[in-house]
Structure 1
């Protein structure tokens, strides 16, 4: 499992975060709470949210969710894909009203696209990346249809993604959504929290340059 700034194990941060914040209102809430947790565990790690980076292909600015600067640089991308749920976090009386992200195929594509981007951004060999998916939707960790348009992008438990990933079906391809991964990534989902009536799990992939 990856390190943050070459100082903090990601698993330690997620365990601490789950203890304090079992549920989040939104992806932005998740990002902010994660950054707060990193700072509380190691105040010497500098944190920057929504950092712009230049895409060398399009020359447009794109944004990294979180950059952690410690003994090395770690870029972090977050995905928080939820199904509808209402309840409290089991710690306070705070009410959470999670909406239903119906298009889980797009959630998978978004997560893989984060990995694709982080591979490019860590190509200099001086940094690493972390792609994190947190969800209460079992459809993301359970096996699904092998003929769906996102079949190559599925991140079911135990599945490995690498190389060319094609989006669509033989009858309806969509090359614009294809992605090629230089690394090899296997899905090992971890428990996060179990608020009443729901279950959250998370997946984290470490991205480094081939030379690292």
Structure 2
């Protein structure tokens, strides 16, 4: 199980969030709603958005309390969906983010960044990378075995993510996108909501990052 600030499980926060919001306008909207929900469940856990780190980088959300500190990065990647949130009766017009390979890359960039934060900041208990999406291709294993530039960056159900990840195909790698993960992560997706209309199914993925000490 993945703990936030040594106090509550991420699955507990997501289960409560589902009762309040079925869908979000943007990644920032998701970050804010998640932070509010966590703090309402555990008032002893403080939440801070966009916290500057050493080197000038910013962390999406820092959670801290008497039992620990957790650094969280979010990704919210959407396919086109128009509809109404049945929980809030709010209207939504989600735009399509076309480049799913870039979504995979950026999510794994977050995992690598969090590994770095946890390795260099001894006050952190753990890191947490969260992806929420209605883009089915992200959680579905590829149907064809032909090489693609993002094959090392696949994040589908059951994928084992570890080691050096290279962007490109044999003989044509883009080294600026290469990342090395010190941890090993078995990926398991979770259902979030299933709304009416095309692309109405939303699922989330959470990766718990610990420092290799």
Give your verdict on TM over 0.5: yes
Aligned residues: 206
Find the aligned partners of 2:50 and 2:88 in 1 and give their Cα distance. 29
- In the alignment, is residue 77 of structure 1 matched against residue 80 of structure 2? no
- Normalised to the residue count of structure 2, the TM-score between the two structures is 0.94
Root mean square deviation, CA, Å: 1.1
Question: Which secondary structure state, in structure 2, belongs to the residue aligned with residue 155 of structure 1?
Answer: coil
Question: Which secondary structure state, in structure 2, belongs to the residue aligned with residue 143 of structure 1?
Answer: coil
Question: Which secondary structure state, in structure 2, belongs to the residue aligned with residue 122 of structure 1?
Answer: helix
Partner of 1:29: 29
Find the aligned partners of 1:175 and 1:210 in 2 and give their Cα distance. 24
Partner of 2:149: 149
- In the alignment, is residue 208 of structure 1 matched against residue 188 of structure 2? no
Gaps (5+ residues) in structure 2?
none
Deviations 1:23-44 (A, max 9, x none): 0000000000000000100111
Deviations 1:183-212 (A, max 9, x none): 00111000001111210000000001113x
Deviations 1:127-161 (A, max 9, x none): 21000000001100001254110000000100011
Find the aligned partners of 1:43 and 1:93 in 2 and give their Cα distance. 27
Find the aligned partners of 2:187 and 2:136 in 1 and give their Cα distance. 14
Compute the displacement of 1:92 (Å).
Answer: 3.1
- In the alignment, is residue 161 of structure 1 matched against residue 161 of structure 2? yes
Answer whether contact 2:21 2:88 (CA < 8 A) is retained: no
Gaps (5+ residues) in structure 1?
56-60
Find the aligned partners of 2:75 and 2:170 in 1 and give their Cα distance. 28
5 Å matches for 1:67-146? 67-70=62-65, 71-123=67-119, 124-127=121-124, 128-144=126-142, 145-146=144-145
Partner of 2:61: 66
Find the aligned partners of 1:65 and 1:4 in 2 and give their Cα distance. 14
Q: Which range moved further: 88-97 or 67-76?
A: 88-97
Q: Which range moved further: 170-179 or 9-18?
A: 170-179
Answer whether contact 1:6 1:72 (CA < 8 A) is retained: yes
Question: Which secondary structure state, in structure 2, belongs to the residue aligned with residue 182 of structure 1?
Answer: strand
Q: Which range moved further: 192-201 or 122-131?
A: 122-131
